[in-house]
Structure 1
Amino acid sequence: MSGDLATSGTEGSKAKRKAYLSIASVVALALAAWWFEPAWLYEWLKVLHVVAVISWMVGLFYLPRLFVYHADAAAGSEPAATFVVMEQRLLKVIMGPAMMVSWTVGLWLAWSGFSFSGLWLWIKIAAVVGLTLFHVFLSRSARRFAAGTNTMTARQWRIANEVPTVLMIVAIIMVVIKPFG
């Protein structure tokens, strides 16, 4: 079993390096584009924002689902150990970077495209703050699972899995419909 964990750790380190290199490349390209401010910048940053948000949302939906299965696994069992590795990788390699890119690019788009004006935009930002708080809650919950101190049942995790759905719907309505002009 220790050989499996060493391999998992090595693979995790490689994935982490690739993720950080990708983030650094995107940030460098974004800074260069921002400096030169080409006409296409705003549209391409919208694309980056949508891709980052989708990646983040996938994690916000999938991690509570992993917690459902993890809550049913016997503490200290091989499945429980596997869930810990999966949860940590999801948080560190996908969710964390995707959240940072979503926030960074999203704030830039809100500033450059809308000058932070419009009630719809502030409601959307409030929904994203809610998603961020849920992300923090999930991150702390993953640490509790890793320490063997989870207190929530699989049923409670199924219910918690609905939180990002509601917040996502609010954000999408605000962006697409802009009901409060």
Structure 2
Amino acid sequence: MLWLKAFHIIFVVTWFAGLFYLPRLFVYHAEAREPALHERFKIMERRLLGITHIGGVLAVGLGLATMAAFAWHNLAYLRQGWLHAKIALVLLLIGYHLMLARMVGQFARDANTRSSRWLRVFNEIPALLLIAIVLLVVLKPW
């Protein structure tokens, strides 16, 4: 069970690296004026999205496996309120990830309509979710 948990944490870190950096690339992309930079950002965004997909899938898969292992030993684990809240926040992260994938496509088609300011604010969402999730997992408030 500890191996599952350890690899879950490793891939959460991988996933969050993409969730943090991809929107920052969008900011730079939106502010770039040279066509060559736009093309370079498109490549970087596409490649980083691939790594983010891998990290996200493995983080969620290993998280589910870890949750199943804990539930196997004690079914009451699944009835804890903090766990329900964490799952809800992870679902929000998955939605955020899907928005990033859509936005990579928009930038690839030169169809972005969002300002760099909007993108800077959007970039803060995963940090807030990460703080909430870590506090829930460590403190288990209910």
Task: Specify if TM > 0.5.
Answer: yes
Q: Which has the higher contact order (CA 8 A, sep 6+)?
A: 2
Q: Which amino acid aligns with 2:43?
A: V
Q: Once superposed, what is the RMSD of the aligned Cα atoms?
A: 1.1
Pick the structure with greater CA Rg: 1
Measure, in 2, the Cα distance between the counterparts of 1:144 and 1:160. 16
Measure, in 2, the Cα distance between the counterparts of 1:105 and 1:56. 12
Alignment-derived partner of residue 72 in structure 1:
31
- Per-residue deviation, 1:139: 0.6
Q: Which amino acid aligns with 1:177?
A: L
Q: Which amino acid aligns with 1:71?
A: A
Measure, in 2, the Cα distance between the counterparts of 1:86 and 1:174. 33
Alignment-derived partner of residue 47 in structure 1:
6
Kindly provide the CA deviation profile for residues 99-155 of structure 1, in whole angstroms up to 9, marking residues without a partner as x. Answer: 011111101111221442201001001111111100000110010000000011111
Secondary structure of the residue aligned to 1:99 is: helix
Can you give the 5+ residue segments of structure 1 that lack an aligned partner in the other structure?
1-41
| Matches for 1:17-166 after TM superposition, within 5 Å | 42-74=1-33, 77-92=35-50, 94-114=51-71, 115=75, 116-166=78-128
- Per-residue deviation, 1:170: 1.1
Residue identity (%): 39
Secondary structure of the residue aligned to 1:148 is: coil
Can you give the 5+ residue segments of structure 2 that lack an aligned partner in the other structure?
none
Secondary structure of the residue aligned to 1:50 is: helix
Measure, in 2, the Cα distance between the counterparts of 1:104 and 1:144. 28
TM-score (norm 2): 0.93
- Per-residue deviation, 1:74: 2.9
Measure, in 2, the Cα distance between the counterparts of 1:112 and 1:102. 15
How many residues are aligned here?
137
